[in-house]
Structure 1
Amino acid sequence: MSGWKANSRFQQLAFTHAAMMGGEAAMVVALADSFFFDVDPNGARSRVLAFLLVSFAPFLLVAPAIGPAIDRVRGGRKLIVQVVAASRIVVQLLMMRFADDIVLFPLVFAALVLQKTYTVSKSALVPAVVRGDAELVEANSKLGVIAGVAGTIAVIPAGALQLTIGSPATLLYGALLFGVALMFSIGLPDELRVDTHEPSAATELEPTVGLQLGWVAMFILRAAAGFMLFHLAFWFRGEPNEKQLLALAVGLSSIGTLIGNSVAPRLRRTLHEERMLVVALVAPAIVGLAATIVGGPLLGIAVATVVNFAAALGRLSFESIVQRDGPDTNRGQAFAQFETRFQLGWVIAAVIPILLDLPGRVGFALVTCVFALAAFNYLLGIRAPTGHGRMPPEPAPS
């Protein structure tokens, strides 16, 4: 594959991804006051628990049904992305009609299922738009940065429409963005249908020890992100500057995610994906230890920021490991199963501070211990003399 061809293919996916993320951001703005997106930690804990249940529910459909379909449908993952984009347009238009009706709830659920379906399909498509395994981290990183930038830019006109005209105009704007995504998805590469009898990378027959250890590390990273979000939200309750602290935590955590997406390609020039996961596990343990010793809201926010940075770095590393080591045939199914595990970890960890009133330092100590044990276990496992499980040699300096 020529460099121009690979670049052209990646550009089509990048433009598609930017438009999809823009449409997603517009929908969130339009429905910001709905049950699904307006979660007040000062409200009833039962309502917050219901939100967590709703956030996980789409995966119950994506993992067993949609994941395998992504790998087997005639037309490949490209067709799935096109179907999702077209379906998002229809859902957005229906939301305009039923914005103040009970029908909005199944429509939002459908949007969440389509969102997860697209995420899985996009991850499965990445190897088809790069020239080799060495470019996987950079490609995943660029898509992560594009998602953050496109979502931020799309929010500006969405917010203006929401304030001046209302939700219908914002939803229509989102539908137009999904239309742009559909247009760009036409240029995505076609994939040949291949034998689908191989096991998925997410089964007990995972091809490498790196995959087995990697998904556990990523599970912990995603769980820690959920834990820190709700730990800080409930810990800050009653503080005079509660809203400002929580806003700062959310804002800096988003910046941490963006930085993690941005620095991953540079790290990949000197470190393999496995060592990048080590960095992702060690960094939160160090900052968590400092927060446990010193305490205070600002260091708590620092822990949340580093956890989100590490989760972004870990996600890019792990996705590249799956794309590199997992069977091509069942890649969509694998990503669906892994994402279901990770979201379950996020929900379970988020429930802990909802049910238990944890002092700030206790929460930070818990994060420190979990990450320290996870880093030790990962290093021990990846260095074991088990063939595929061993740490690969570092990339040659460029």
Structure 2
Amino acid sequence: MTDLPEQQLPGRGKGKNYIPPRHQDRFTVAPFTRLVRGHALMAAGEAAMAVALADSLFLSITPGEARSRVLLFLGVSFAPFLVLAKFIGPVIDRMPGGRRLLVVLIAILRAVTMILMISQLDSLFLFPLAFLAMVLNKTYAVSKSALVPSLVKSGKNLVEANAKLGVAAGIVGFAAAIPAGILSLISPKVTLVFGALLFTLAALNAFKFPKQIVATEKPGDLEVNELHQPGLIIAVTAMGLVRASVGFVFFHLAFWFADPQRAIPLKELDTGLWTPVQYQFGPQFGTMWFGLAVSSAAIGTLLANLSAQRLKALKRIEYLLVASLLIIGVAGLFTAITRTTVTAILLMALVNFAAAIGHMSFESIVQRDAPDANRGRALANYYTRFQLMWVGAGIIPVLLELRGVIGFGIVSGIGFLGSAVYWWGLRQLAIGGIDASMVSHLRKRFTRSR
């Protein structure tokens, strides 16, 4: 048969002499594949929660009553990010499996939050639970961004890896919404149990992540210098504006769809003058329209992730970030002019599409301009700032009762002004228009204590 000694046969031997069977590697799941599964399960749980809360007090409460509560919990949600970024984040990055542990805890807390929501669907206590879920979701996004660089085989695959995560989350999220919707016909409470089960599975999956250390030591001079180059600093600013527009649009549309004063001119009088006519699917359908807008946002993000391979082939990846801001500007202007429900839903889709391609561009810029930096730590810091921009911009339409045209105009202004300033910054860098003193000022402005 074979002349090999018994201890050298596949599946035989003890200790260091053990030789695994030839088929054993077929059942070994790659670490990144586990992350994809976990991310998809988290997205499915998020979709189940959205379906369960569709007809709850959280979304059916009148805008006037909701503003104070939303403003309170948005303000409170600042604190976890500030603490996470400044104190807890660096400690977790140096712990073996620190980010893995954080993902596990987040998934468990999401499951517990869903269970607590079951008895609070008709109570105002649902508000803090819903915002706790939002904070946990944003914290998870930061932890995921820190994990990805350590789980992909090559740094060059970072953009493609994030695109795969986005596609998996989009597809599985849509798929999970179907059984969640069916279960909601029985009771939203059953849907919440379904969501809690999904988050529990995500936690069990996260336990199998490798115990990676995101950062073993504090950033050195080379890493600090690379991460504070002028080109990267202006890219961070541009990406922050993109995230701010996403947060602003989300909350502005949430209140605009439910605004009882919203009316749309539909017909022209014989005198040639336009008259406001109440839209037949107006504010009384605000929850439905907002749900469609959130769904369109997911579609926009999915389409952007599907186009990752083609988009990252551009010679100047910065142009992609300029384009994302221009898309936001054009979409905001068009919606401000038309002010219809359909264009508002389209605005949500386009803004999230732009945000997704902006993320691809930004991650490519970090890879190119900071090759010696710890990408897990750097991206975690950057995405923490971006989440704060999302929350900060979201407070504006909650605090101020903005008319539709004003809010859409603000979105347009963010897009057009942001793209113009970023383009100007790129041109100045190309011709050497940014001198050493300006670079020094930028570094002092954006450098954090090490």
TM over 0.5: yes
Task: Letter of the 2:179 partner, please give it.
Answer: P
> Contact 2:251/2:394 (CA < 8 Å) preserved in 1?
no
1:154 Cα deviation from its structure 2 partner: 1.4
1:378 aligns with 2:422: yes
2:76 maps to 1:57: yes
Q: 1:204 to 1:289 in 2, by over 3 A?
A: farther
**Residues 170 and 69 (structure 1 numbering): CA distance in 2 closer, same or farther, change over 3 Å?**
farther
What residue in structure 2 maps to residue 115 of structure 1?
Answer: 137
Query: Aligned ranges for residues 146-165 of structure 1 at < 5 Å?
Result: 146-165=168-187
Tell me, in whole angstroms, the C-alpha distance in 1 between the residues paired with 2:336 and 2:28: 47
Matched residue of 1:222: which SS? helix
Give the aligned partner of residue 327 of structure 1. Answer: 374
- How far off is 1:77 after superposition? 1.5
Structure 1: gaps spanning 5 or more residues: 390-398
1:192 aligns with 2:213: yes
TM-score (norm 1): 0.78
Shift of 1:16: 0.6
For 2:385, which of 327, 331, 338 is the aligned residue?
A: 338
Q: Deviations over 1:356-377 (max 9, x none)?
A: 325x3x5554443432221121
Residues 159/220 of structure 1: CA separation in 2 closer, same or farther (3 Å cut): same
User: Do the aligned residues in 2 keep the contact of 1:26 with 1:174 (CA within 8 Å)?
Assistant: yes
Label 1:175 to 1:371 Cα distance change in 2 as closer, same or farther (>3 A): closer
| Structure 1 residues 244-274: Cα deviation after superposition (integer angstroms, max 9, x where no partner) | 7656544434322322222233200234542
Query: Which of residues 113, 131, 152 in structure 1 aligns to 2:153?
Result: 131
- Asked whether the 8 Å contact 2:329–2:412 carries over to 1, the reply is yes
Q: Label 1:357 to 1:83 Cα distance change in 2 as closer, same or farther (>3 A).
A: closer
Residues paired across the two proteins, number: 378
TM-score (norm 2): 0.70
Question: Where does the alignment leave 5 or more consecutive residues of structure 2 unmatched?
Answer: 1-25, 264-278, 440-450
CA separation of 1:57 and 1:266: change in aligned 2, threshold 3 A: farther
Deviations 1:335-364 (A, max 9, x none): 453134322343144347x42325x3x555
**Matching of residue 314 in structure 1 with residue 333 in structure 2:** no
Q: In the superposition, relative to structure 1, how do residues 288 and 204 fare at CA in structure 2: closer, same or farther (>3 Å)?
A: farther
Q: How far apart, in 1, do the equivalents of 2:312 and 2:40 lie?
A: 24
Distance verdict in 2 for CA 1:247–1:54, change over 3 Å: same
1:277 corresponds in structure 2 to 321
Structure 1 residue 48 corresponds to structure 2 residue 67: yes
The answer on whether the counterparts of 2:332 and 2:347 sit within 8 Å (CA) in structure 1 is: yes
Deviation track 1:41-98 (CA, whole Å, cap 9, x = no partner) reads xx23352353244245334113323433431334232222223223333443444466
Q: 1:245 to 1:263 in 2, by over 3 A?
A: same
2:303 paired with 1:259: yes
For 1:81, the equivalent position in structure 2 comes to 103
Larger RCO, structures 1/2 (Cα 8 Å, 6+ apart) = 1
2:233 alignment partner in structure 1 = 212
Partner residue of 1:171? 192
In terms of Rg, which structure is larger? 2
Matched letter for residue 36 of structure 2 = A
Match of 1:355 in 2: 401
Counterpart position of 1:392? none
1:121-157 deviations in Å (ceiling 9; x for gaps): 1111111222333322221122122222222221222
**TM-superposed deviation, 1:296:** 5.6
2:273 matched to which residue of 1?
none
Residue 334 of structure 1 deviates from its aligned partner by: 0.3
Separation (CA, whole Å) in 2 of partners of 1:297 and 1:86? 37
| Range with bigger deviation, 241-250 or 117-126 | 241-250
Q: Report the more deviating stretch, 17-26 or 253-262.
A: 253-262
Q: Secondary structure at the match of 2:176?
A: helix
Q: Quick one: which amino acid aligns to residue 162 of structure 1?
A: S
Mapped contact 1:220–1:345 kept (Cα < 8 A): no
Residues 284, 368 of structure 1: 8 Å contact kept: yes
Contact 2:32–2:152, Cα closer than 8 Å, also in 1: yes
Amino acid at match of 1:50: R
Given that residues 141 and 264 in structure 1 are in contact (C-alpha distance below 8 angstroms), is that contact kept between their aligned partners in structure 2? yes
The structure-2 alpha-carbon separation of the partners of 1:299 and 1:204, relative to structure 1 and needing over 3 Å to count, comes to farther
